[in-house]
Chain A
Amino acid sequence: MLFNSYTFIAFFAIIMILHHLPFFKWTTKKVILLIASYIFYAAWNPPFILLLWLSTVVDYFVGKALYKQENKRKKNLLLVISLIGNLGMLCFFKYGGFLLENFTVLVNAIGINFHPAKPNIILPAGISFYTFTTLCYTIDMYKKHSEPVKSMLDFSLYVTFFPHLVAGPIVRPPQLATQFLTPKQGTRTTIMKGLFLISMGLFMKVVLADGMLSSSADMVFNTPSSVLPIDAWLGVLAFSGQIFFDFAGYSTCAVGAAMCLGFWLPQNFRSPYAAIGFSDFWRRWHITLSSWLRDYLYIPLGGNRKGELRTYVNLMTTMLLGGLWHGANWTFVVWGGLHGTYLCVERLFRPKKVGEIDPIPIPVTTASLAPGFMRSKTMNRFLLALLTFFLVNITWVFFRAQDFSTAWRMLSSMFGRANDGIAVLPTLNMVKVAVVVVGMVATQWFLRNTTVLEVAQKTKWWIVSIAWTLMLLAIILSQESSSSFIYFQF
């Protein structure tokens, strides 16, 4: 079920009523939420709910056993069982075709004539997200970082809770599972704030991503020939805005929906295009994934504790795998590799201080591009933010392009290396992209150190109301049919 669909509005209204009825016990309300979450998921493809059940049951029991088990060998065996179960499922559904394709290329390259039938595997929605949710539980149990979830009901709800199920935010057991221990429901204020966030999330997705930007990005990236530099740049900027509004819109809806029900979900975006440098970017973009990668991949690999060279290797490995997590295509690996390179270069030039400790949880690395003397000046900081945004846009080319030839064609068009570029964007599209992207960067710079809810709290209530009304009217008038969120394919 998509947040931007009539079905979801009806579904959510029913759930809100049932969840706030006074005569249901807390356990009954949890059962209702669980059933609702399964319905939410099954609304795409009912059979795939079996995978979700399998993952839930295996990880619940293996997690408990891992926590209690003191025998190191048995403990490792249990961990391997869980990893094979979770990653095996992910590998088969997400990377099966990709692995086979690459294997075929490889064996043919060494002279073996092998041409298997193309596998017809359907990717279950959100498999990457719920696999990471269950994986972190298993690893936490192995390391005894948190207590096992006591009831199967709470664990199932932790894995399946519909606001985060399909595209995050990726939640840790202590963040969500503990919230199911005591009765929760929205207060009048949290419900209103939640509805405000849902409206804002839908505005970002329906009006800005789908209504204003997606057609321009599609036009430019789907053109089979080179395009003029202005078209190429606007196409990439359009995608840059589209992917942000699409994914941040989803996350905002998820946080808002949970808030209406009385639950808290972590923030997933914090003005990423106002980032100064790449470690800052990854503190602000898809925060729950980058912190997951830091805690369950980068640090276990050794992080920055095993010398400089090893730190760089760990950084690159983490970002390359992070890229591959997004999709079974080498273009995503290159996207991750570019971000890894940026982070390594940034780390290389960062100012070194003796005994420096990371002040806040920083995903992946602790570097900062901005030298200290520049950080004090607002204009310099803004220019560095623009430079970061510029470099991020280069990476989006590989993320959006369906293959490398498209990516090279785009890059050569962007940098004026294509002689035969054609104009493709209608003037109205150019105006829309320019207005929305400039507005997006300016707004994110303004919100750099705060959140929308904090700003709303400080603003006069009638001004908030006018902004809210404009967002709702724009959603209704945009009349975009419910198109899927980009991150669902991951």
Chain B
Amino acid sequence: MSENNFIKAAILTAVITAGSIVGYELWLRNHGYSVSYDDDERLWANERKEVYQPSDDEVVFIGSSRIKFDLDIPTWKQETGTNAVQLAMVGSNPVPLLHDLAEDKNFKGRLVVDVTEVLFFNGAPPFQERPTKGLNAFKKQTPSDKAGYQISHFMESNLVLLDKDFFSMNAYLKKFGFKDREGVSSGDLPFPWEFDLTQYNRQSKMNDRFVKDTNLQNQVRMIWASLGRALKAPPPSPTHLDSMFAAVKADVDKIKARGGDVLFVRTPSTGPFWMGEQQGFPREKYWDRLLKETGCPGIHFMDQESTAHFQCPEFSHLSPSDAVIFTKDLAQLIQAKGWKFTNKKTI
């Protein structure tokens, strides 16, 4: 190949690569796929830096996936006049995040903690993995990371194909469906793409197809059932529970001592999921004790007529339309617990 031919190779490479990318992007869009952000530690770290606004202007949310689906952020803004900083992490124990905010002397705001008992009272390392990654990304962010994040945000906002969980090379390789050896788990959960579309503000939404398609809903219900079997473990020991409550109380007290406020919320679940949760985590031993030990107000979905009858399509998360209704109810219930929203516009 002569020297000139290297230039010819480069030009052809640029043309085919650009053509392939454009073609793939158009194909995805034509098949109904839309932009969904990678809900990774960088997106979380970007949100984490927003917690320092005055408490009149924002409320911080931590927890697991339920509050990410159930809190409709635009509705929350409309109802309270405050911004919602969404710091919940899917499939994670939020206690490390509570601890991080408690240790951060500059955080003096209001905090809503979503409680999904099976995660909140679970100290196993896998459930702390995401919080640890997020906190590391926030604390160790370099100038290069920050600049890279901005470019990455621009790219992700415009390209559907940049969805690591569904359209990356490894996501396609997983579709070969190799059978694993006994006792080995890849840890991959085959959620359908339609189930969780992440927005830039970290709100999660099911799309219309998911809300209508019972096959897709059943696919997720099967995942919950398999997780239920896999995570079957003896309940936390009394000593472990005592120390957990003590740690949570200590963190809550630190936030309160700085003028902040903490409120717990139990978001809706339905069907077999809710039944299993009631059996595994009896309310009086967990939820009631949590409120008693910490001295914080709490909102349990079953305590209110307005929130007790939601139907979660896959038993654990609200549909987008129900999330709007739930958020309106939540805003009112929180105010009834004594929180004031001075920025709220009255008509």
CA distance A431 to B142 in the complex (A): 36
Are A479 and B168 in contact, with the CB atoms below 8 A? yes
A113 within 8 A of B: no
Chain A 460-481, CB-CB to B under 8 Å as 1, else 0, gives 1110111011001110111101
Are B170 and A457 in contact, with the CB atoms below 8 A? no
- Minimum CB–CB distance from B20 to chain A (whole Å) comes to 6
Are B179 and A427 in contact, with the CB atoms below 8 A? yes
Are A44 and B40 in contact, with the CB atoms below 8 A? no
List the one stretch of A53-61, A75-83, A190-198 in contact with chain B. Answer: A190-198
Whether A478 touches B12, Cβ cut-off 8 Å, given contacts A192-B7, A423-B184, A426-B178, is: no
Are A196 and B6 in contact, with the CB atoms below 8 A? yes
A100 within 8 A of B: no
Chain B 2-29, CB-CB to A under 8 Å as 1, else 0, gives 0111111110110011001100000000
B169 within 8 A of A: yes
Chain B 46-58, CB-CB to A under 8 Å as 1, else 0, gives 0000000000000
Are A10 and B151 in contact, with the CB atoms below 8 A? yes
Closest partner residue, chain B, to A474 (CB atom): B169
Give residues 150-181 of B contacting A (CB, 8 Å).
Answer: 151-152, 155, 161-164, 167-170, 172-174, 176, 178-181
- Minimum CB–CB distance from A41 to chain B (whole Å) comes to 10
Chain A 355-386, CB-CB to B under 8 Å as 1, else 0, gives 00000000000000000000000000000000
Are B13 and A472 in contact, with the CB atoms below 8 A? yes
**Residues of chain A contacted by B20 (CB below 8 angstroms):** 469, 473
Q: How many residues of B contact A (CB 8 A)?
A: 47
**Residues of chain A contacted by B205 (CB below 8 angstroms):** none
**Residues of chain A contacted by B21 (CB below 8 angstroms):** 473, 476
List the one stretch of A1-9, A170-178, A310-318 in contact with chain B. Answer: A1-9
A428 within 8 A of B: yes
- Minimum CB–CB distance from A14 to chain B (whole Å) comes to 12
Are A461 and B184 in contact, with the CB atoms below 8 A? no
A456 within 8 A of B: yes
Are A189 and B3 in contact, with the CB atoms below 8 A? yes
**Residues of chain A contacted by B162 (CB below 8 angstroms):** 479
Are B142 and A43 in contact, with the CB atoms below 8 A? yes
CA distance A422 to B184 in the complex (A): 9
Whether A426 touches B180, Cβ cut-off 8 Å, given contacts A2-B144, A469-B17, is: yes
A458 within 8 A of B: yes
Are A428 and B164 in contact, with the CB atoms below 8 A? no
Whether A211 touches B169, Cβ cut-off 8 Å, given contacts A423-B181, A428-B178, is: yes
Residue from B3, B161, B183 whose CB has the most chain A CB atoms within 10 Å? B3
Select one of B12, B176, B179 contacting A465, CB under 8 A. B12
B186 within 8 A of A: yes
A46 within 8 A of B: yes
CA distance A5 to B3 in the complex (A): 29
Residue from B9, B168, B180 whose CB has the most chain A CB atoms within 10 Å? B9
Closest partner residue, chain A, to B165 (CB atom): A479
Whether A465 touches B144, Cβ cut-off 8 Å, given contacts A6-B151, A460-B1, A474-B169, is: no
Are A43 and B147 in contact, with the CB atoms below 8 A? yes
**Residues of chain B contacted by A476 (CB below 8 angstroms):** 17, 21, 161
Give residues 208-228 of A contacting B (CB, 8 Å).
Answer: 211
Whether A422 touches B183, Cβ cut-off 8 Å, given contacts A6-B148, A457-B1, A472-B13, is: yes
Closest partner residue, chain B, to A187 (CB atom): B3
B182 within 8 A of A: yes
Are B168 and A428 in contact, with the CB atoms below 8 A? no
Chain A 34-58, CB-CB to B under 8 Å as 1, else 0, gives 0000000011111000000000000
CA distance A193 to B13 in the complex (A): 13
**Residues of chain A contacted by B155 (CB below 8 angstroms):** 6
Are B185 and A188 in contact, with the CB atoms below 8 A? no
Chain A interface main SS type: helix
Whether A6 touches B152, Cβ cut-off 8 Å, given contacts A461-B9, A464-B1, A474-B169, is: yes
Closest partner residue, chain B, to A199 (CB atom): B13
Select one of B5, B17, B182 contacting A461, CB under 8 A. B5
**Residues of chain B contacted by A274 (CB below 8 angstroms):** none
A425 within 8 A of B: yes
Select one of A424, A461, A481 contacting B6, CB under 8 A. A461
B143 within 8 A of A: yes
Select one of B13, B143, B152, B174 contacting A428, CB under 8 A. B174
CA distance A426 to B173 in the complex (A): 12
Are A45 and B142 in contact, with the CB atoms below 8 A? yes
CA distance A460 to B6 in the complex (A): 10
- Minimum CB–CB distance from A238 to chain B (whole Å) comes to 14
Select one of A7, A428, A468 contacting B148, CB under 8 A. A7
CA distance A424 to B186 in the complex (A): 9
Give residues 1-35 of A contacting B (CB, 8 Å).
Answer: 1-2, 5-7, 10
Are A192 and B10 in contact, with the CB atoms below 8 A? yes
Closest partner residue, chain B, to A432 (CB atom): B173
A482 within 8 A of B: yes
CA distance A7 to B186 in the complex (A): 32
Are A428 and B151 in contact, with the CB atoms below 8 A? no
B66 within 8 A of A: no
Are A477 and B168 in contact, with the CB atoms below 8 A? yes
Closest partner residue, chain A, to B179 (CB atom): A427
A182 within 8 A of B: no
CA distance A44 to B6 in the complex (A): 35
In the complex, besides A10-B151, A428-B178, A477-B172, 10 extra interface pairs with C-beta distance below 8 angstroms are: A43-B144, A43-B147, A192-B7, A196-B10, A427-B179, A429-B186, A456-B1, A465-B12, A478-B169, A479-B162
Which residues of chain B have a CB within 8 Å of any CB of chain A? 1, 3-10, 12-13, 16-17, 20-21, 38, 40, 42, 142-144, 147-148, 151-152, 155, 161-164, 167-170, 172-174, 176, 178-186
24 residue pairs A–B, Cβ–Cβ below 8 Å: A6-B152, A7-B148, A10-B147, A43-B143, A43-B144, A188-B7, A189-B6, A189-B7, A196-B10, A423-B182, A426-B180, A426-B185, A428-B178, A428-B186, A429-B186, A431-B178, A461-B5, A461-B9, A462-B9, A465-B8, A478-B169, A479-B162, A479-B163, A482-B148
- Kindly list the 8 A-B residue pairs having the minimum CB-CB distance in the complex, ordered from nearest: A43-B144, A461-B5, A426-B186, A427-B178, A6-B151, A479-B168, A465-B12, A465-B9
